[in-house]
Structure 1
Amino acid sequence: MGYKIVFFDIDGTLINEHKEIPADTIKAIAELKERGVEPVIATGRAPYFIKPLAERLGIESFVCMNGAYVVYKGTPLYKREIEKSSLEALVKLAGEHSHGLVFEGEHAFFADKEDHPFIIDSVNSLKVDLPGYNPEYWKTDSIYQVFLHCESHDEHLYENLHSELKLIRWHPQAIDVLPAGGSKAQGIEALLDKLGLTPADAVAFGDGLNDKEMLDVVGFGVAMGNSHPELLPFADYVTTHVDEQGIRNGLVEAGLL
Structure 2
Amino acid sequence: MPWGDPLPDGSILTMDAYWSIGPHDWGIEVSPLAGGPAMGSTGAGVVPGWLVALDVDGTLTGPGRPDVPPETAGAVRSARASGHEIVVATGRSLVGALPIANAFGPTGWVVASNGAITARLDAQAPGGYVLVDASTLNVAPVVRMGLALAPELRVAVEDTGWGYLVNRQFADGQLNGRQRTVDGTVELWERPAPRVVLSGSGIVDKLLKPLHDLGVTAHSDGPDWIDVTPAGLSKASALEQVRNRLGVSQERTVAVGDGVNDIEAFHWAARAVAMGQASEEVRAAADETTGSVDEQGVIAVLQSLPNPRLSAQAPAAG
TM-score bin (small chain): 0.7 to 0.9
Which residues of 2 match residues 36-55 of structure 1 at below 5 A? 36-55=83-102
Aligned to 1:203: 254
Shift of 1:153: 5.6
Q: What does 1:8-87 align with in structure 2 at a 5 Å threshold?
A: 8-17=54-63, 19=65, 20-58=67-105, 60-73=108-121, 74-82=129-137, 84=138, 87=139
Q: Superposed, which structure 2 residues align to 1:115-194 within 5 Å?
A: 115=169, 119-120=170-171, 124-125=173-174, 128-134=176-182, 135-152=185-202, 154-163=204-213, 164-194=215-245
Q: State how far apart, in whole Å, the 1-side matches of 2:131 and 2:304 are.
A: 32
Percent identity over paired residues: 27
Distance in 1 of aligned mates of 2:286 and 2:70 = 25
Cα distance, 1:112–1:242 mapped onto 2, change above 3 Å: closer
Letter in 2 for 1:102: A
The structure 1 residue matched to 2:154, chosen from 100, 110, 118, is 100
Gaps of 5+ in 2: 1-47, 122-128, 309-318
Where 1:12 maps in the other structure, the secondary structure is: coil
Residue-by-residue CA offset, 1:148-207 (whole Å, 9 max, x unaligned): 113346533442331411211124532111122221001101111112224322111100
- Separation (CA, whole Å) in 1 of partners of 2:231 and 2:252: 26
| Paired amino acid for 1:174 | W
Runs of 4+, deviation exceeding 6 Å: none
Q: The residue matched to 2:133 in structure 1 has which SS?
A: strand
Q: TM-score, normalised by structure 1?
A: 0.86
The structural deviation recorded for 1:32 is 0.4
CA positional deviation for 1:66? 0.4
Matching residue's letter, 1:213: E
Higher percent of residues as helix = 1
Which letter maps to 2:133?
Y
1:58-98 deviation digits (Å, cap 9, x = unpaired): 2531001101111123332222111x2xx222111222222
Q: Which moved more, 1:152-161 or 1:220-229?
A: 152-161
How many matched pairs?
247
**TM-score (structure 2 length as normaliser):** 0.70
